[in-house]
């Protein structure tokens, strides 16, 4: 299994703008739901995996043989944080209170798979909520785990890099399985925008059954 880590482009920008300080900030670790695919451009802040919007101008369009869509004249789909491939839960509608995966999102239109939605006009107060973190249960609690103390290494001139290390992070399955989860996302909980640092891809879904634990051992954030 080839485990890989990808930094978000927003993290690089935030470092240059001094929007965060890895040496002192609190870093949280989230396990992601099965099917999640990290995008280093789209996944910039926590809002991009937990975005939510409530509006009364949201309508649902049955595309027939083509893709279905969710539309909104003033609904701020993008500014609310929704991005391509989000899994969203719909509530408050008359006929479309379901969970669905976004294919693409642009200003005013969210595209989803054909046969997903029932035609419904605007008028009700509808809420769309991104649900990309693994659900609470089985020993996992959403948005609570931190890396613990981050230790900065000295300037490494021999290898032309600087490392920030943190101790092992773990979750123990209890009462039910943890997962399946394809990876872990790290974000800076201290920064005002909750900058996403990056994503640790497990190279496939991982499931832990009680009493087994899932470990991320001796993590290192490296600037080289």
Q: Decide: 81 and 47 in contact? Cβ < 8 Å.
A: yes
Domain boundaries, the chain: 4-36+134-223, 47-130
Share the mean pLDDT of the chain. 95
**Per-residue confidence (pLDDT) for residue 152, from 0 to 100:** 87
pLDDT score for 12? 96
CATH fold, domain 47-130, is Elongation Factor Tu (Ef-tu); domain 3 (2.40.30)
**Cβ neighbour number for residue 35 with a 10 Å cutoff:** 12
Give the phi and the psi of residue 137 in degrees, each rounded to 5: 145, 155
The three-class DSSP label of residue 88 is strand
Interval 109-150: pLDDT, tens:
999 999 999 999 999 999 999 999 999 999 999 999 999 999
pTM of the model: 0.94
For residue 29, what are the β-bridge partners?
186
């Amino acid at each position: 299994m080839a485990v890989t880590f990808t930094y978000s482009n927003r993290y690089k920008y935030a470092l240059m703008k001094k929007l965060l300080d890895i040496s002192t900030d609190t870093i949280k670790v989230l396990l992601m739901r099965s099917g999640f695919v990290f995008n280093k451009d789209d996944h910039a802040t926590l809002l991009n995996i937990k975005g939510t919007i409530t509006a009364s101008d949201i309508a649902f369009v049955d595309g027939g043989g083509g893709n279905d869509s969710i539309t909104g004249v003033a609904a701020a789909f993008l500014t609310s944080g929704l991005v391509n491939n989000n899994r969203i839960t719909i509530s408050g509608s008359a006929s479309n209170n379901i969970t669905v995966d976004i294919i693409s999102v642009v200003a005013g239109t969210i595209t989803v798979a054909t046969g997903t939605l029932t035609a419904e006009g605007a008028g009700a107060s509808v809420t769309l909520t991104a649900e990309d973190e693994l659900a609470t249960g089985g020993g996992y609690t959403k948005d609570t785990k931190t890396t613990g103390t981050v230790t900065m290494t000295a300037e490494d001139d021999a290898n032309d890099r600087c490392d920030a290390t943190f101790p092992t992070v773990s979750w123990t399955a209890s009462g039910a399985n943890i997962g399946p989860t394809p990876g872990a996302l790290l974000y800076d909980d201290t920064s005002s925008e909750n900058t996403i640092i990056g994503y640790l891809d497990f190279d496939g879904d991982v499931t832990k059954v009680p009493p087994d634990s899932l470990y991320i051992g001796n993590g290192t954030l490296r600037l080289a």
